[in-house]
Amino acid sequence: MVVLGGNMRLKACQEAGLKEVPIIKASELSAEKQREFIVKDNVGFGSWDWDMVANEWDNDILEEWGMDILGFNIDDDQMKDSFNLPDGDKEPFQQQTFTLSDVQSEQIKNAIADVKKTEEFKYVETFGNENSNGNALYLICMQWVEQKK
């Protein structure tokens, strides 16, 4: 008796004190059909363990079921013997990831592009960082800090 879809409805029913709720048993679905149902039911509003998605699911099947696999569109031709990722952290550097709405993301991309065109960007302290977007974002943050004073 594992809930495949409707976890939040079940939680709401439990919090409302309901003792009985109607269900549809998926016992006649194969394991693969159950997995498909879970993905399709959560495509619009589900939260995902992206490590698990990357390691345990086929991207083509997930996209066929309606999941948008952002950032995983790497062609087999791009995966050559020379492709590798560095092991461990690149001290003293750190990579940060943020989740933004489309509007926020576009505004930040535009701000980074704009600051890269400035004279000040040519002389920003990079601390050895070769990533121009990171350096531009650092400059934007430093300008904001100065304005706050």
pLDDT at residue 94, as a whole number: 76
CA–CA separation, 49 and 47 (whole Å): 7
Per-residue pLDDT reduced to its tens digit, 72-122: 444 555 444 554 545 555 667 777 888 888 888 889 999 999 999 998 988
Instruction: Answer whether 10's CB lies under 8 Å from 21's CB.
Output: yes
Beta carbons within 10 angstroms of residue 32's beta carbon: 9
Q: Can you give the pTM of this predicted structure?
A: 0.40
Instruction: Answer whether 69's CB lies under 8 Å from 62's CB.
Output: yes
Q: What per-residue string of b and e applies to 106-120 under the rule 16 or more CB within 10 Å gives b?
A: eebeeebeebeeeee
CA 120 to chain centre: 32
Per-residue pLDDT reduced to its tens digit, 10-68: 888 999 999 888 887 877 788 888 877 777 776 666 666 667 777 777 777 777 777 76
Per-residue pLDDT reduced to its tens digit, 57-67: 777 777 777 77
pLDDT at residue 77, as a whole number: 52
CA neighbours within 13 Å on the CB side: how many for 123?
Answer: 2
